[in-house]
Amino acid sequence: MNKLYKIFLLLLVAGVVSYSCDGIEDSLIDDQLEENPLPTPTDYTSGSADFSNFIAIGNSLTAGFADGALYTAGQNNSIPAMLATQLGVAVDGGITFVQPAINSEDGFNTSLNSTDVPCENLPTVLGRFKLDISVRRPSPTIDGSCVTPYTGAAVDNFGVPGIVVGQLLTSATGNAANPLDPAFNPFYARFAANPGTSTIIGEAAAAQPTFFSLWIGNNDVLGYALGGASNPAILTSNGDFSTQFNAVINTMMTNTTADGVVANIPPILGLAYFRVVPTVAIPVTRESQRDSINAAYAQYNAGLDAAATGMAITQQEADRRKINFAVGVNAFVMEDETLTDLSGSGLPSIRQAEPTDLTVLSLSSVLGQDLGDGVYGVQDAVEDRHVLLPSEQLEIETSRGTFNGIIAAAVNANSDRLVLYDTNSPTGAFYDLFGLSDGVPGITVDGVDLTPDFTPTGVLSTDAIHPNPRGNALVVNGMLGVIEAGFGATLPRVNVLNQASVTLCVTGDCASEQ
């Protein structure tokens, strides 16, 4: 399965990512049951739980966001939609699970569409990514659509793409009258019961569920990681996370009688988003090219030796910081804020990338390009926002561990009503998928090897962060297991291999084909 990274390199070329799934279901429940034939419903029970009024609370993972967009097929194959189908077999008449339908085949690509002008004034609205095999990279669809108000029945899926824990608690999240508020989110504003007054968690509690799922907190640390840990302001503090998460739990425990399943934050640095762009990625094909690059760094390298002689740095640090290219593929040049500051001597804090550094996917679109100050990654050092240093990785993992401790404590304090889906369990899917069990990324399901990517055998959508339907099915099956154990239920599993993986561009529907 180590071959997956070579596959990724073939796919990257210009650098944005995507995926999708085929077909838009008229009836989600019927379609899920067709794809996952079930034994006689009387074989299944809800145990001590009551699944009859099931709701879901969370962020993009709950909303069905995938391939860089919220679109119809993604919603129809969302984690709570699948979960509702499986829980419904233990309920007389099944479960009616209403989602705030986006009614868009391709959705609104949140990473590519300009937000400087109103959506309706954009010349082209880009939609979800698909994989264009002719150019070996994902490409956005050209028939995207603006985010429009939801006008259907009261919803059961309170998943909102992009939110952090605190946004569940504030009315500003849905206040379209003040879109410049940092808490505002158009995906909640479109279905908020009382925009500018209601809150996501308030609406969820008001629905008076008998059972709920809650998966929130990922973005409180993931957002910081996606930006190369370059903006500390977007990393939620431990104190704020504790206050806000416990407020969410207390709202559901105090204002409803519902039981629930709560998921924690998985090992996010194992996501393909941080694994796709290699640190050794700069090709040098000619000796003259090599000599020209090295000549440009000769004064810098000499300055490092002088700094070591003057005991400003150790010789070991000087050697680590020296820039040397060879014919072949080389590590790129990058900034490193943890190096000794030698700016007083005119020496920048740069070095070549090392195997312990992690890159972010956005680097793929600029690495090796001449951006005006020389080739990015050669003469122009890669900026901090594109790389996670080992110290930044440790900071991210420390926050994630602390947040997960807070989540576990809140669940344990309400153990008579809540169960924890531990995404970090050594026996869970994420552990195998990210190679934490044996160092080899991937998981085997019914004899088929699945990989943490967006290839045909992958379980991630083409934004390299969100699961595709196969990935969602893995999560749902994990949740079903802890629901059974916690409430004495007996429930069917989703057939993972029956779910879709990657969707390809068809003639004329992707930007790369224009």
Residues 314 and 353 in one domain: yes
Residues 216 and 299 in one domain: no
Residue 421 pLDDT greater than 80, yes or no: yes
What gap in Å lies between CA 223 and CA 60, rounded to an integer?
12
The token duo for 431 is 């552990």
161-177, pLDDT tens digit by residue? 999 999 999 999 999 99
Lowest mean pLDDT among 127-131, 157-161, 217-221, 420-424: 127-131
Residues 256 and 238 in one domain: yes
Identify the residue whose tokens are 């399965």: 1
Residues 157 and 94 in one domain: yes
Say what the pLDDT of residue 34 is.
60
Say what the pLDDT of residue 297 is.
98
The token duo for 88 is 């419904």
Q: Which helix (H) or strand (E) holds 2?
A: none
Residue type present at position 96: T
Residue 219 pLDDT greater than 60, yes or no: yes
Alpha-carbon separation of residue 405 from 10, 242, 395, 424 (angstroms): 39, 10, 15, 12
Residues 14 and 123 in one domain: yes
Say what the pLDDT of residue 220 is.
98
Residues 265 and 288 in one domain: no
Mean pLDDT of the region 197-222: 98
Q: Grade residue 153 by pLDDT with cuts at 50, 70 and 90.
A: very high
Burial 81-119 (b: 16+ CB within 10 A, else e): bbbbbbbbbbbeebbebebbbbebbbbbbbebbeeeeeb
Helices (H), 262-389: 287-296, 298-309, 315-321
Say what the pLDDT of residue 60 is.
98
**Do residues 417 and 260 lie in contact, with contact meaning Cβ atoms separated by under 8 Å?**
yes
For β-strands 157-159 and 54-58, DSSP reports them as parallel
Chosen domain end from 390, 424, 455: 390
Residues 266 and 293 in one domain: no
The token duo for 264 is 């924690």
Mean pLDDT of the region 275-294: 96
Chosen domain end from 331, 356, 390: 390
Residue 16 pLDDT greater than 70, yes or no: no
Say what the pLDDT of residue 304 is.
98
Say what the pLDDT of residue 438 is.
87
Say what the pLDDT of residue 43 is.
87
What gap in Å lies between CA 94 and CA 415, rounded to an integer?
27
Q: Which helix (H) or strand (E) holds 389?
A: none
What gap in Å lies between CA 180 and CA 387, rounded to an integer?
29
Residues 142 and 270 in one domain: yes
Q: Grade residue 437 by pLDDT with cuts at 50, 70 and 90.
A: confident
The CATH number of the domain holding residue 22 is 3.40.50.1110
Lowest mean pLDDT among 119-128, 334-343, 387-396, 475-484: 119-128
Mean pLDDT of the region 393-402: 98
pTM: 0.90
Mean pLDDT of the region 452-457: 90
Say what the pLDDT of residue 132 is.
87
Chosen domain end from 359, 390, 421: 390
Residues 161 and 250 in one domain: yes
Q: What do you get for the CA distance between the two ends of the chain, in Å?
A: 34
Mean pLDDT of the region 120-140: 90
For residue 347, what are the domain limits?
280-390
Say what the pLDDT of residue 31 is.
56
Mean pLDDT of the region 9-35: 42
> Could you tell me what percent of the chain has a pLDDT over 90?
85
Say what the pLDDT of residue 35 is.
59
Q: Grade residue 7 by pLDDT with cuts at 50, 70 and 90.
A: very low
Those residues whose C-beta lies under 8 Å from the C-beta of residue 415, and which sit 6 or more positions away, are none
What gap in Å lies between CA 110 and CA 34, rounded to an integer?
32
Lowest mean pLDDT among 35-49, 56-70, 278-292, 473-487: 35-49
SS3 476: helix
What gap in Å lies between CA 462 and CA 74, rounded to an integer?
12
Residues 157 and 201 in one domain: yes
24-55, pLDDT tens digit by residue? 333 444 555 565 555 444 589 999 999 999 99
Residues 172 and 319 in one domain: no
Q: Grade residue 135 by pLDDT with cuts at 50, 70 and 90.
A: confident
Average pLDDT over all residues of the chain = 92
Computed on alpha carbons and rounded to an integer, the radius of gyration of the chain in Å comes to 24
Structural domain count of the chain: 2
Residues 356 and 468 in one domain: no
What gap in Å lies between CA 78 and CA 109, rounded to an integer?
17
- 159 beta partners: 58
301-338, pLDDT tens digit by residue? 999 999 999 999 999 999 999 999 999 999 999 999 99
